[in-house]
Amino acid sequence: MTANSISGPRWLLALDASTPRSAIALGRVGTDATVGDAEDDGANQASARLQPRIQAVLDRAGVRAAELSAIACGIGPGTFTGTRVAVATAKGLALGLGLPIVPVSTLAAVAASLEASGLVLALLDARRGELYGGLFELAGHRVVPCGDEHCATLPDLLAAFADRLRGPVHLVGPGVAGQAERVPPGWPMTELPGPSPTGLWRAALAAYARGDAVDAAEVDAVYLRQSYAELGVNTPKRKPFKSPFAEG
């Protein structure tokens, strides 16, 4: 760990690319003032531009990379490619600067993007008819996880958190789309493409305050389930083409 993490301003850089919105936030630990950046691109190419965007945020704040005390990184769940790119980017920065990484739940960052207090259920589209879900309690700038995160259908998620659901719960995130008929009456819903820079910052600060910083080598993406490739499932988009010139 560098001397800057022990004395002087503690600058924390946070990044997340696990959702259709990739976000970056930079600020001083213990303050709400941040410099942020977000791109909504449907989880396509924004993650590939993380490094120049990070440099632009540092330049806007007038902060050198050497002044950072830690790197906070969204580790998922979310898109496989975006999450891997963010984790690899964070590891590269942390190893090059000799800094720890603060792993941040992407679901926590989404929940913290809501300007509200109380119980919040963050939802991301996990495909295959399922959602990534995490329940959190928001109180001021506190982002407190309420149990494990899951990958399941919305009814199964509500059942998993049933012992914590007392009264209306606010649902938030890209996974909210199309779920209105499955939600109890009176439960508010806010569809967001992903975490805002403010939400990412709040979740990163909460993780930093809990002492979650670890060595960069210990950080890995969290998917909550295996990918098609890991399951050995091959689902081609079109039938295999056989050349008429091929023998057999």
Per-residue pLDDT tens for 7-65? Answer: 456 999 999 999 999 999 999 998 887 899 999 876 556 667 899 999 999 999 999 99
CATH number for position 133: 3.30.420.40
**Between β-strands 11-16 and 21-28, what pairing exists: parallel, antiparallel or unpaired?**
antiparallel
> Do 183 and 210 sit in the same domain of this protein?
no
Question: What is the C-alpha separation between 242 and 212, in angstroms, rounded?
Answer: 53
Evaluate if residue 4 carries a pLDDT over 90.
no
> Do 102 and 11 sit in the same domain of this protein?
yes
> Do 38 and 79 sit in the same domain of this protein?
yes
**Left if phi > 0, otherwise alpha if psi is -120 to 50, otherwise beta: which for 140?**
left
**What is the arrangement of strands in the sheet containing 11-16, beginning at the earlier edge strand?**
34-40, 21-28, 11-16, 68-74, 101-104
pLDDT score for 49:
87
pLDDT in tens, 115-168: 989 999 999 999 999 999 999 999 977 899 999 999 999 999 999 999 998 889
> Is position 230 within any domain?
no
> Do 83 and 37 sit in the same domain of this protein?
yes
Q: How many CA atoms lie within 13 A of 177 on its CB side?
A: 10
pLDDT score for 33:
76
Of 190, 208, 241, the residue at which a domain comes to its end is 190
> Is position 237 within any domain?
no
Q: Hey, how many other C-beta atoms are within 10 angstroms of the C-beta on 19?
A: 32
Give the max Cα distance, the chain: 73
pLDDT score for 152:
97
> Is position 50 within any domain?
yes
- Of the given ranges (70-74, 121-125, 153-157, 243-247), which has the lowest mean pLDDT? 243-247
> Is position 84 within any domain?
yes
> Do 122 and 204 sit in the same domain of this protein?
no
**What's this model's pTM, rounded to 2 decimal places?**
0.87
pLDDT in tens, 172-189: 999 999 999 999 999 999
- Find the domain containing 180 and state its range: 109-190
pLDDT score for 38:
92
Residue 107's φ and ψ, nearest 5 degrees, are -65, -35
> Is position 243 within any domain?
no
